[in-house]
Amino acid sequence: MNNLRRDFLWGSATASYQCEGAWNEDGKVESMWDHYLHEEHLENGDVASDHYHRFAEDIRMMKEGGQNAYRFSISWPRIITDESGHVNQKGLDFYHEVIRACRENGIEPFVTLYHWDLPQYLQKDGGWLNRATCDAYVRFAETVFREFNGEVSCWTTFNEPRWTIVNGYLIGNYPPGMHDGQMTAIGGYHIMLASALAVERFRSMKISGNIGIVHSYTPVEGVDSRPETLTAMRYADNFMNNWILDVAAKGEIPEDFLEALKDKGIDLSFMKPEDLDAIRRNHVDFLGLNYYARALIKPYTSGETELTVNNKGKAAKGTTTTIIKGWFEQARDPSSRYTEWDTEIYPRGLYEGLLKAWSRYHLPMYVTENGIGYYEDVSQGEVQDDWRVSFMNDHINAIMNAAEEGADVRGYFAWSSFDLYSWKNGCEKRYGLVAVDFAHGLKRTPKKSWHWYKTVAESNGDTIAREKY
Ligand code: BG6
């Protein structure tokens, strides 16, 4: 059985900083990521996949690969280049070209307003810790809405508020590299407020289409069903999912999460009544869910909070740790497979997660990212990425199972359209359906998974090897 909608979106996704390159061309100013990676002398996205100059070829390959949607983000520092709000026409022109190329190729543009590349001029003034950044974001959103109204019908306000804020302010592996619970709470709150304010502006401007948010969805499961495990799962669900999804979909910040933050000594006086009111009133039309893995949770036992992310791949395999003092610990399932970067491969979590999100929010859902990072040698002809084919097959199968049980899923986006820069992991962690040879002129070559995905998209999922759960 295949009950996917006939207008199901079969797409792939990228993000501006990770693929565009051209970091200082045509009036673009420095982003927080440019600044941080340059300062730290780390591998950066100065050139990345050079999509800025090669988008026409990249989008043509999407069409040739049977895809009908492209999720990309708009680089804020390409559009608004200073604090006074100066608009860079060349930046807008670039995205008009990208959207035109999409339309000419029968590809639906699926636009993310913010995929982490905050202008450095705002970061310098406190970034997401500063309430003024919310207003600057709304001005940026308004500029983009007005400019592209009628050209785009699927919009999202933010990509993964939790991942960017927790990594930037608690774990410290992303800019601005902080380790501070109070800052994490303020930054997260401001991003969710900015999202609500942009939704409000979208509606008041009567922009055509729908607006959603993209979340790093991490469905929570327990190692067992003891009461203390259920309590730990609730803490984990609040920390990982609910402060984004409940807020965006229902305008509610979980009360028990606020209590748990207060117990940790977090001062919540930054939550102003008029802003809470804006959050309460402005909900998204749909949910974008990025799915890489679930979180398997066990009760907290002892020790300090410990959060580490493996950004070194096989050199650091097994070092990822998530323990939040007093709340929960994340467990490793000995029967599961994990990538070299410690991401569990667990397709069933997507099925469970979609059903859970559907029953909680009853909003249309798109799987806005799903993919596997791998070391791949792209110099020896077509990459035979059977691992990606089987990974995608099993996750699309999970979506089909969820759809059969009533979940309203409207699209799937492979991460990523082509190889690109993987944040702190550099370019050697490859996700693309198309190989990019970074060492040899950025030549593009479709991988086996690209050909396979074409048959899936063209058959609307009929060629998926099905396993009914
Ligand atoms: C998501 C992001 O968190 O996961 C992407 O939206 C990112 O930007 C992707 O690249 C994969 O993560 P990573 O760290 O392996 O690049």
The residue whose CA is least distant from atom 12 of ligand 1 is: 422
Cα of 427 to ligand 1 centre, how many Å? 12
Cα of 160 to ligand 1 centre, how many Å? 9
Choose the catalytic residue: 20, 352, 369, 376: 369
Closest-lying ligand 1 atom to the alpha carbon of residue 15: 8
Cα of 290 to ligand 1 centre, how many Å? 9
> Which residues form the pocket of ligand 1, taking CB atoms under 6 Å from any ligand atom?
15, 18, 159-160, 163, 216, 290, 369, 373, 415, 422-423, 425, 429
Cα of 422 to ligand 1 centre, how many Å? 6
The residue whose CA is least distant from atom 15 of ligand 1 is: 422
Among 49, 160, 413, 423, the mutation site with the greatest number of ligand 1 atoms within 8 A of its Cβ is 423
d(CA 389, CA 383): 11
Closest CA to 299 of 231, 372, 244, 363: 231
Question: What confidence score (pLDDT) does residue 1 get?
Answer: 82
Cα of 148 to ligand 1 centre, how many Å? 26
Cα of 179 to ligand 1 centre, how many Å? 21
Among 19, 376, 415, 424, the mutation site with the greatest number of ligand 1 atoms within 8 A of its Cβ is 415
The residue whose CA is least distant from atom 13 of ligand 1 is: 422
Question: What confidence score (pLDDT) does residue 416 get?
Answer: 98
Closest-lying ligand 1 atom to the alpha carbon of residue 371: 11
Q: Is there a catalytic annotation at residue 369?
A: yes
Closest-lying ligand 1 atom to the alpha carbon of residue 311: 14
The residue whose CA is least distant from atom 7 of ligand 1 is: 422
Cα of 277 to ligand 1 centre, how many Å? 32
Among 422, 428, 430, the mutation site with the greatest number of ligand 1 atoms within 8 A of its Cβ is 422
The residue whose CA is least distant from atom 10 of ligand 1 is: 422
Cα of 175 to ligand 1 centre, how many Å? 15
The residue whose CA is least distant from atom 8 of ligand 1 is: 15
The residue whose CA is least distant from atom 11 of ligand 1 is: 422
Judge whether 125 and 132 are in contact, CB under 8 Å.
yes
Question: What confidence score (pLDDT) does residue 349 get?
Answer: 98
Choose the catalytic residue: 108, 160, 352, 376: 160
Reading the chain (469 residues) residue by residue, the pLDDT tens digits are: 899 999 999 999 999 999 999 999 999 999 999 999 999 999 999 999 999 999 999 999 999 999 999 999 999 999 999 999 999 999 999 999 999 999 999 999 999 999 999 999 999 999 999 999 999 999 999 999 999 999 999 999 999 999 999 999 999 999 999 999 999 999 999 999 999 999 999 999 999 999 999 999 999 999 999 999 999 999 999 999 999 999 999 999 999 999 999 999 999 999 999 999 999 999 999 999 999 999 999 999 999 999 999 999 999 998 999 999 999 999 999 999 999 999 999 999 999 999 999 999 999 999 999 999 999 999 999 999 999 999 999 999 999 999 999 999 999 999 999 999 999 999 999 999 999 999 999 999 999 999 999 999 999 999 999 999 9
Closest-lying ligand 1 atom to the alpha carbon of residue 420: 10
Bridge pairing between strands 443-446 and 321-324: unpaired
Judge whether 59 and 37 are in contact, CB under 8 Å.
no
Judge whether 415 and 15 are in contact, CB under 8 Å.
no
